[in-house]
Amino acid sequence: MKIRAAVLEEFGAPLAVQEVDLAEPGPGEVLVRLEACGVCHTDLYTASGADPSGYAPAVLGHEGAGVVERLGERVSSVKEGDHVVSLFSPQCGECIHCLSPKTNLCLAIRDQQGKGYLPDGTTRLSRDGEPIRHFMGCSTFAEYTVMPEIALAKINPEAPLDRCALFACGLSTGLGAAMFRAQVEAGSTCIVFGAGMVGLGAVAGCRLAGAERIVCVDLSEDRLTLATGQGATDTMVGGSDAVQQILDMTGGFGADYTFEATGNVKVMRQAVEAARMGWGLCTVAGVAGKGETLDIVPRFLITGRRVAGSSFGGVKGREQVPQFIERYLAGDIDVDAFLSHRITLDEVNRGFELMEAQDGIRSVIRFDG
């Protein structure tokens, strides 16, 4: 079928919205009609050429939600008409990682997905007979996409799909970092560095976990206001003295849990140093630039602090994304505050511009105009 999609032709250049070919779903695959897709920093990171694992040409986009249109052979967990959220972090339910509660990093299709292919090593996207690669197994900057069954979360059809799209990456990453990866305890003190989508999700996750004190640190007063709406009890404008300010407000010890959601390695170091002596846990969710390293003074670790990485917040997507959406429908998570701009597919590059200008939290592409 012919579809319109936003293609990354070359790094550092605007995406080109054009007509491409999409083949029918193969065994274990599903054709999804996209209704909404968030414009995420990871898409911009790849389009810029900063991602060392990036490739072109490719159809970008991974924060999508839509409706199942057709099924390939041997698909059993979804049916035509189901509402689904795309998962760049799949869940096969059978590999050693899926069977363990310790991680969400499914191994089933990881190798081919990282190369821009579907599990059989081929693509469903093409142009004039030449393959176009998939992005993060999703390619949701498009009217339709073909994805593996194990990379789709079936969700409540009552939930608005433009809100549900945000659970495909940023929001779940933040919520999960607090609730699943760090496993924040009730009554604890938490510090969240960064009030973008992931950081605000972490603030909400700390609140849902019952944290007593939640401090959000950012450079933007507007974003700090949003953090208060998500449950932050205190806010702080970031800077070189942020660690000392946090120590002062915690009796000199630091916080039980800290979260880094900026991708800035200097802020990552602050998040480590702001964690409590004895048992503080720093969870790093931000993606650093190519070649950057995190510098940690060993004594901070020797005196009991721990550092953990977090991919997609430790969320096992097919099981737990639908649970998050149920909590949204119950009023526990305010998603409307994150949806800053509604744009069309033709305006995808404007979505990148708004992100670079830090104008709002999320631009969401609506495919119904």
Active site residues: 40-42, 62-63, 92, 95, 98, 106, 110, 169, 362
Which SS3 state, helix, strand or coil, does residue 67 take?
strand
**If you count them, how many residues does the chain have?**
369
Return d(Cα 145, Cα 216) in angstroms, integer.
Answer: 37
Tell me whether strands 213-218 and 189-193 are parallel, antiparallel or unpaired: parallel
- DSSP codes of every residue in 75-113: --S--TT-EEEE-SS---S-STTTT-TT-----TTHHHH
Q: Is residue 53 packed enough to be buried (19+ CB in 10 Å), middle (13-18) or exposed (0-12)?
A: exposed
CA angle (132 as vertex; 111, 147 as ends), nearest 5? 55
For residue 87, give Cα distances in angstroms to 26, 106, 114, 166: 18, 11, 14, 11
Contacts of 211 by beta carbon, 8 Å cutoff, 6+ apart: 178, 184, 185, 186, 187, 188, 189, 190, 257
Return d(Cα 59, Cα 341) in angstroms, integer.
Answer: 21
Return d(Cα 68, Cα 82) in angstroms, integer.
Answer: 5
For 208, phi then psi, to 5°, come to: -65, -30
